[in-house]
Structure 1
């Protein structure tokens, strides 16, 4: 994960630490650790695709998705919102299976419940270059 371009961070220090740990689980493709951040009834949606309901299905879908590329690094630009509902603007640097590097602009909206678990994730990015 890269944080040197982070301009605006509206999260508390505690929530920011939580979020960077969450993103690190994604960057390392550690599905077991990532799962500990999600509520059982979490819903994830990529772009205009149908929402994916439930922690177990989300983890299965992400496990499959993460096999389609070698590496991912989040490059944080801005985090807007509060500790329970926030938006991340980032550059996502991928290394494809063919070794080509691809950078995609992305926005992720995240909501957490009173226990700090993620209840909703909405991701917006054009992944076409990743699979071209």
Structure 2
């Protein structure tokens, strides 16, 4: 994960540090570590696709998606919002299975529940270059 391009961060220090751990779980492509941040009834939506609902569905679908590339690295640009509801603007750097590298702008909206677990993520990015 890259944070040196981060211009605006509206999260408190504890919330920011927690979010970095969450993103590191994503970047490590460790589905078990990632789902520890999710509420049981979490919903994840990518672009205009149907949402993934519940940890089990998220584990299966994201796990399958993560098989389509070797590496993911978030390059954080801006984080707007509150400690409970925020949006990340980033560039996601992918290393594909053939070693080719592609970088794609992305935005992710995240909402936490009362226990600090992710209850909803909506991310918007054009992953066409990952599958080209």
TM-score bin, normalised by smaller chain: over 0.9
Number of aligned residue pairs: 132
Query: Deviation at 1:59?
Result: 1.1
- Matched residues in 1 for 2:33 and 2:50: separation? 25
The CA deviation at 1:32 is: 1.0
In 2, Cα distance between equivalents of 1:115 and 1:59: 21
CA deviation after TM superposition for structure 1 residue 48, in Å: 0.3
Match of 2:98 in 1: 98
In the alignment, structure 1 segments of 5+ residues that lack a partner are none
Q: What runs of 5+ residues in structure 2 fail to find an aligned partner? A: none
Secondary structure (helix, strand or coil) at the match of 1:77 reads strand
Describe the superposition over 1:40-61 as per-residue Cα deviations: whole angstroms up to 9, x where unpaired: 0000000000111111101111
C-alpha separation in 1, matches of 2:129 and 2:32:
28
Aligned partner of 2:31 in structure 1 is 31
1:55 aligned residue? 55
In 1: Cα distance, 2:106 partner to 2:13 partner:
23
> Residue in 2 aligned with 1:79?
79
Alignment of 1:12-31 (within 5 A): 12-31=12-31
Q: Normalising by structure 2, what TM-score?
A: 0.99
Distance 1:26 1:128 in 2: 19
Query: 1:80-131 CA deviation, whole Å, 9 max, x = no partner?
Result: 0000000000000000011100000000000001100000000100000111
